[in-house]
């Protein structure tokens, strides 16, 4: 687990599924993967497993539990976030709990998705893309500037050394 | 009416998604600042709620629960539990302050109440910050909790930038012209006092609580700032835990049409750091609190990311490298940073290869760990002498089992995402350009006034180098016929609370609140503003 270069096990499990389902890694798939990665930046914990408590000390045990919990949650982004509040609520005393709404549901129920053009709300305030800068390219393995792109998955790499690491352990796993 | 402690009438709470700032009206700083979450060590029954986390000895392996998602309160019961504990601690702090004669309220020392008593909410009004564009459903639930469960006698809830604005508009222009002043060093505020020495005492006091211009002002800059202040205009940057907002204001009023949001904040940066190091070196997936602390202590904003990337290669000669000794759960409970190698010290020293470059802070190794290591080394040496020398153990130095996390370009490439979100695949403009978009969404005639007072608030602005990078980048974007003035408060995470505290002590406060009686007569949820 603490070896140089090995990523979290649960991520590998998840990525493997993505790659199996989609043999052809087209642009839209890459964008989807990038989006779920951005969504994950708002998570509180590495995974939203129903019971993160309990098995504490052993690293091996933890990894195993994570893998299991990942089995029935293929779509990582929003689905799990919805599930988490339900699990939370059960831990509170019966009857006293108020409903925990996901952010996504708050947005849906607020009606702002159907708001007329010109309405000022959370979504309309989102900053647009940059007109000053183009995205830069950094090596997905070491973080330095890169000029090469993996033809299979679109990840960036900077050198033969990093490309070897990439193809051997990370290609088609959608980790930056 | 019930008796409140120390003559205070308003509990002022900046309920940030990352941390809660809690105190009383009219005071300069909050009594308590604590994480807005609960934390549970894996495999243990113990649960840290809110401010209890301040006393937690270890940070490792915690499972976190936060009431907020993307800046909005979604778990009301969890938030109530955190508030409840926070209010009790506030009451205890107030009682302790009174005993020591520190109570600063007008009627201080009226009753000597017991220190462990819970806050008697019926004796107080509550001033609460909420996110911009808060949901009606969240507001209704908030009122229900505030009035029905805590029983506050009245409530004022308004967006945090509203109170920052109040703070900003009540501070006079203080900066003196100093056209030759170079760009300030990141993290070191360019106090106007050092430029000319003509600054009067009260202005210096204002600077201490408010903040200095990032670049010392030219005569034209002072004129622009004066005009902006006279018009009650400017742009507030609120770079917080869940997002970074640019909020333009004019005539002392927020301009909602011009608000622009970048969907990155402190939480995303912590997770990005966690993700990056987990991918490159050690799996830190479960170490959210530890990584947050490392981010706060070690991350910084580069003034030239590509140049710093080149400097950070190779790793063993990088001036940016920091070796973090991870908590071992025995003596080293919170982790610390190893001293720089001799090679790096030489490169950073005057005349060295990297002399004069901006680099992140270098926190010292805690003394108690040095003591423990010395003791252990002595014991090992003694044991080794007795056994005739064990091959496994080295005398002196850190123990063999230490887990060391090597951080290098992540320390500035993670915060870099705030300025170039497209680097991590987020197709939004960075911090500086968001201001351009916000100003562009306002009436064109306002632009010169808005650029005349851009104020940096929110915890992300604490990143060393943030203010200088922001100012420099925005300056290249703003048309050259506009003067740009960027102000950086010294405690940007407290600006909203400070404004709220002053607002609650002001005459207008009681005309703005919604009383418990009104709430009960009109029913929850509806509010007129
Ligand atoms: Zn590389
Ligand atoms: Zn690939």
Cβ-nearest to A54 among B43, B65, B136:
B43
B434 and B354 inside one domain: no
B504 vs B516: CA distance, rounded Å: 17
Q: Which of A115-119, B76-80, B98-102, B390-394 is predicted least confidently?
A: B390-394
Query: Per the CB < 8 Å rule, is A38 touching B425?
Result: yes
Same structural domain, B489 and B499 = no
Same domain assignment for residues B129 and B49:
yes
Q: Are residues B156 and B15 in the same domain?
A: yes
Which residues place a Cβ less than 5 A from the ion ligand 1? A 139, 141-142, 158, 162
**How many percent of chain B have pLDDT more than 70?**
80
Examine the domain organization and report whether B43 and B144 are in the same domain. yes
Does B66 share its domain with B148? yes
Which residue, among A136, A146, A145, A16, has the nearest Cα to A71 in the 3D structure?
A: A16
Q: Which two tokens stand for residue B193?
A: 């006092």
Q: Which chain A residue's Cα is nearest to B425?
A: A34
User: Which residue on chain B is closest to A57 by alpha carbon?
Assistant: B43
What confidence tier does B358 reach under pLDDT thresholds 50, 70, 90? Answer: low
CB B402 within 8 A of CB B328: yes
**Spatial separation of the C-alpha atoms in residues A158 and B310, rounded to whole Å:** 13
Burial class (CB in 10 A: 0-12, 13-18, 19+), B468: buried
Does residue B155 share a domain with residue B88? yes
Q: What is the pLDDT of residue B171?
A: 63
User: How far away, in angstroms, is A142 Cα from ligand 1 center?
Assistant: 4
Q: B71-85, B160-174, B240-254, B330-344: lowest mean pLDDT where?
A: B330-344
What's the whole-number mean pLDDT along residues B133-149? 95
| Residue B314 preceded by cis peptide, ω within 30 | yes
In a domain? residue B272: no
Region of poorest pLDDT, from A1-5, B10-14, B309-313: A1-5
| Residue B375 resides in a domain | no
Supply the pLDDT for residue B430: 97
Q: B225 is written with which tokens?
A: 């700032």
Angle value at C-alpha B29, between B71 and B162, nearest 5 degrees: 45
Chain A residue numbers touching B309 (CB-CB < 8 A): 143-145
Q: What is the pLDDT of residue B313?
A: 84
Higher pLDDT: B185 or B80? It is B80
Cα(A174)–Cα(B275) distance, rounded to whole angstroms?
12
What are the structural domain ranges in chain A?
A: 135-175
Q: What is residue B363's predicted lDDT score, i.e. its pLDDT?
A: 63
Is residue B403 within 8 angstroms of chain A, CB to CB?
Answer: yes
Q: Does a structural domain hold residue B241? A: yes
In this structure, the answer to whether residues B233 and B300 fall within a common structural domain is no
The answer to whether B235 and B474 are in contact (CB under 8 A) is no
**Beta strand B486-488 with B454-457: parallel, antiparallel or unpaired?**
parallel
Give the mean pLDDT of chain B: 82
pLDDT of residue B200: 29
Asked whether residue B483 falls in the same domain as residue B512, the answer is no
Neighbours of B104 (CB within 10 A): 15
pLDDT-derived band at B108, boundaries 50, 70, 90: very low
Q: Which of A43, A135, A145 sits opposite B422 (nearest CB)?
A: A135
Ligand with an atom nearest the CA of residue A146:
1
Overall number of domains in chain B: 3
Give per-residue pLDDT as tens, B54-88: 888 777 788 899 999 999 999 999 999 999 999 99
B114, part of any domain: no
At residue B3's C-alpha, the angle toward residues B2 and B8, to 5°, is: 120
Tell me, yes or no, whether B330 lies in a domain: yes
**Residues 52 through 81 of chain B touching chain A, CB cutoff 8 Å:** 61, 63-66, 69-70, 72, 74-78
Confidence class for position B302, pLDDT limits 50, 70, 90: very high
Work out the average pLDDT over B15-27.
96
Residues B501 and B429 in one domain: no
Smallest CA–CA separation between A173 and chain B, in Å? 12
Contacts of residue B525 in chain A, CB cutoff 8 Å? none
User: Tell me, what's the ipTM?
Assistant: 0.80
Report yes or no on B298 lying in a domain. yes
Considering the domain architecture, whether residues B314 and B348 belong to the same structural domain is answered as yes
pLDDT at B387: 61
Closest listed ligand to the CA of A162:
1
- Asked if B500 and B163 touch (Cβ cutoff 8 Å), the reply is yes
The pLDDT tens digits along chain A (176 residues) read 333 333 344 444 444 444 444 444 677 887 888 888 888 898 888 764 333 333 333 333 332 233 333 333 333 333 333 334 433 333 334 345 677 888 888 999 888 898 888 899 999 999 999 999 998 999 988 889 888 988 888 888 999 999 998 888 777 664 43
Same domain as B64, residue B151: yes
Structural domain including B331 reads 287-368+402-417
Is B247 among the domain residues?
yes
Q: Is the pLDDT of residue B425 over 70?
A: yes
Residue B193: per-residue pLDDT: 32
A24 Cα–ligand 2 center, Å: 12
Q: What pLDDT does B5 receive?
A: 57
Backbone angles phi, psi at B167, to 5 degrees: -65, -50
Report the predicted TM-score, pTM, of the whole model to 2 decimal places. 0.79
Query: Does residue B250 form part of some domain?
Result: yes
A-facing residues of B in 31-50 (CB < 8 A) are: 37, 40-44
């Amino acid at each position: 687990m603490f070896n140089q270069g090995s990523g979290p096990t649960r991520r590998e499990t998840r990525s493997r599924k993505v790659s199996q389902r989609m043999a052809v890694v087209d642009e839209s798939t890459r964008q989807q993967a990038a989006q779920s990665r951005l969504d994950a930046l708002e998570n509180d914990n590495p995974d939203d497993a129903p019971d993160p408590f309990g098995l504490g000390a052993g690293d091996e045990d933890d990894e195993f539990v994570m893998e299991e919990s990942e089995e029935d949650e293929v779509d990582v982004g929003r689905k799990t976030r919805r599930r988490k509040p339900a699990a939370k609520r059960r831990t509170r005393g019966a009857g006293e709990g108020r409903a925990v709404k996901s952010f996504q549901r708050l947005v849906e129920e607020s009606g702002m998705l159907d708001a007329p053009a010109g309405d000022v709300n959370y979504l309309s305030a989102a900053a647009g893309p940059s007109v000053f800068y183009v995205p830069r390219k950094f090596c997905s393995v070491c973080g330095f500037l890169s000029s090469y792109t993996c033809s299979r998955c679109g990840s960036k790499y900077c050198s033969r050394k990093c490309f070897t690491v990439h193809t051997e352990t990370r290609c088609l796993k959608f980790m930056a | 009416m019930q008796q409140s402690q120390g003559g205070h009438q308003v509990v002022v709470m900046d309920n940030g998604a990352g941390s809660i700032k809690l105190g009383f009206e009219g005071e300069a700083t909050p009594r308590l600042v604590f994480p807005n979450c609960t934390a549970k060590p894996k495999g243990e029954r113990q649960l840290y709620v809110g401010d209890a986390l301040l006393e937690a000895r270890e940070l490792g392996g915690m499972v976190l629960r936060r009431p907020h998602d993307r800046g909005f309160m979604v778990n009301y019961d969890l938030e109530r539990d955190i508030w409840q504990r926070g209010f009790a601690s506030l009451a205890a702090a107030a009682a302790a302050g009174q005993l020591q004669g520190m109570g600063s309220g007008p009627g201080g020392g009226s009753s000597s109440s017991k220190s462990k008593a819970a806050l008697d909410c019926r004796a107080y009004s509550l001033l609460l910050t909420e996110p911009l564009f808060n949901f009606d459903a969240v507001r209704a639930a908030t009122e229900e909790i505030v009035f029905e469960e805590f029983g506050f006698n009245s409530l004022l809830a308004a967006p945090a930038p509203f109170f920052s604005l109040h703070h900003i508009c009540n501070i006079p222009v203080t900066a003196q012209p100093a056209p030759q002043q170079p760009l300030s060093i990141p993290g070191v505020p360019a106090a106007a006092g050092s430029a000319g020495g003509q600054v009067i005492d009260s202005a210096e006091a204002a600077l201490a609580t408010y903040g200095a211009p990032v670049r010392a002002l030219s005569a034209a800059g002072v004129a622009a700032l004066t005009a902006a202040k006279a018009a009650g205009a400017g742009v507030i940057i609120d770079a917080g835990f869940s997002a970074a907002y640019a909020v333009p204001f004019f005539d002392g009023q927020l301009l909602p049409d011009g608000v622009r949001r970048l969907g990155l904040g402190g939480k995303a940066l912590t997770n990005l750091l966690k993700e990056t190091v987990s991918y490159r070196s050690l799996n830190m997936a479960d170490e959210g609190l530890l990584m947050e602390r490392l981010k706060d202590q070690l991350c910084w904003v580069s003034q030239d990311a590509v140049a710093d990337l080149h400097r950070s290669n190779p790793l063993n000669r990088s001036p940016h490298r920091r070796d973090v000794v991870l908590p071992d759960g025995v003596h080293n409970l919170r982790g610390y940073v190893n001293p720089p190698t001799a090679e790096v010290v030489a490169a950073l020293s005057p005349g060295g290869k990297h002399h004069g470059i901006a680099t992140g802070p270098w926190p010292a190794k805690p003394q108690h760990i040095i003591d423990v290591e010395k003791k252990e080394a002595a014991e090992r040496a003694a044991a080794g002498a007795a056994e005739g020398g064990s091959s496994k153990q080295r005398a002196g130095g850190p123990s063999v089992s230490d887990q060391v996390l090597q951080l290098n370009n992540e320390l500035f490439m993670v915060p870099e995402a705030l300025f170039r979100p497209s680097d991590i695949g987020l197709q939004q403009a960075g911090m500086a350009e968001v201001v351009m978009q916000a100003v562009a969404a306002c009436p064109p005639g306002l632009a010169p006034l808005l650029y005349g007072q851009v104020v940096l608030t929110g915890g992300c602005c604490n990143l060393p180098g943030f203010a200088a990078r922001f100012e420099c980048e925005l300056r290249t974007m703003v048309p050259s016929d506009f003067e740009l003035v960027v102000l950086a408060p010294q405690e940007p995470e407290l600006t909203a609370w400070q404004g709220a505290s002053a607002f609650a002590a002001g005459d207008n406060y009681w005309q703005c609140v919604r009383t418990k009686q009104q709430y009960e007569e009109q029913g929850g949820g509806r509010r007129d503003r």
